[in-house]
């Protein structure tokens, strides 16, 4: 039995819950993320964190790195293990440029129905790939499509990783996206502490989408500056605070929070 509440929120028998990101549910996602102690923002008075998922990518990652370098801006890259194996040198380039590296799993698959053992194995494999590529030990974890379960949260935290979602996105994986639309979605109403979701790869999105993301970066930085803000790193934002999230709360039944692009 499935009970649907509004548009996109479904509660299934056994305690499973899935949230599809729709305008009707936008107001509910922060409360759900807070209930499960999943950070969507960073503690910063002036900083905005740019995050890039799905890489590394042979062309997309260097293009994004170049845009960040021109702006003198830091970012965090949530890399996919199977792509790290293909492009290990790009992991080293990301780290050498001073950016942070998080893991986005080894395979880009939704984890809603994965057992804890499957998730642990996939995450360890991703961590091993980064290590073998010569990258630093990742601190953060973001699951594909933003899908978490309580068991999954406990699993990634037991591996020494901190979960981090996002509060804004550019929807840059869509074929209809443009550099202008990406920048507008990512920065309209931007506030201190926001985490912006972007992509430096088109492995799992529209072909060539990374080109529009790279082209959007100058406008994104202009809009952040116009709001009196600046791009920051998680390292700087948490220097005096430590971990982003708190203890896991909620029922013992498997509950998944999915913020699905």
- Catalytically active residues are 53, 199
Measured CA angle at 203 (ends 202, 206), to 5 deg: 45
Would you list the DSSP string of 82-117? HHHHH-HHHHHHHHHTT-EEEE--SS----TT--HH
Q: Which two tokens stand for residue 90?
A: 């790009």
Place of tokens 């002036």: 46
Backbone φ and ψ for 176, nearest 5 degrees, come out as -85, -5
Backbone φ and ψ for 169, nearest 5 degrees, come out as -150, 165
Give the 3-state secondary structure of 147-180.
CEEHHHHHHHHHCCCEECCCCEECCCCCCCCCHH
Burial class from Cβ neighbours inside 10 Å (0-12, 13-18, 19+) for residue 244 reads buried
- Contacts of residue 83, defined as CB under 8 A and 6 or more positions apart, other chains included, come to 54, 55, 56, 57, 201, 203
Q: Which residues pair with 168 in a beta bridge?
A: 196
């Amino acid at each position: 039995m499935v009970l649907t509440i509004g548009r996109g929120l479904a509660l299934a028998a056994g305690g499973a819950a899935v949230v599809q990101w729709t305008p009707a549910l936008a107001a509910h996602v922060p409360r759900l993320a807070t209930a499960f102690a999943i950070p969507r923002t960073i503690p910063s008075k002036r900083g905005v964190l740019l995050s890039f998922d799905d890489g590394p990518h042979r062309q997309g990652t260097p293009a994004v790195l170049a845009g960040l370098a021109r702006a003198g801006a830091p970012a965090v890259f949530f890399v996919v293990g199977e792509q790290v194996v293909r492009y290990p040198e790009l992991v080293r380039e990301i780290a050498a440029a001073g950016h942070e590296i998080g893991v986005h799993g080894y395979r880009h698959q939704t984890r809603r129905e994965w057992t804890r053992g499957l998730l642990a194995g996939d995450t360890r494999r991703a961590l091993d790939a980064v290590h073998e590529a010569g990258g630093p030990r990742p601190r953060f974890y973001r699951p594909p499509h933003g899908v978490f379960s309580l068991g999954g949260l406990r699993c990634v935290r037991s591996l020494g990783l901190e979960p981090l979602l996002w509060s804004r996105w550019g929807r840059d994986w869509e074929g209809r996206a443009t550099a202008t639309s990406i920048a507008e979605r990512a920065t309209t109403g931007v506030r201190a502490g926001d985490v912006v979701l972007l992509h430096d790869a088109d492995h799992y999105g529209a072909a060539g989408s990374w080109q529009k993301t790279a082209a959007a970066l100058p406008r994104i930085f202009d809009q952040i500056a116009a709001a009196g803000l600046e791009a920051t790193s998680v390292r700087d934002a948490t220097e005096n605070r430590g971990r982003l999230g708190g203890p896991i709360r909620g029922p013992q039944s498997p509950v998944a929070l999915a913020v699905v692009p």
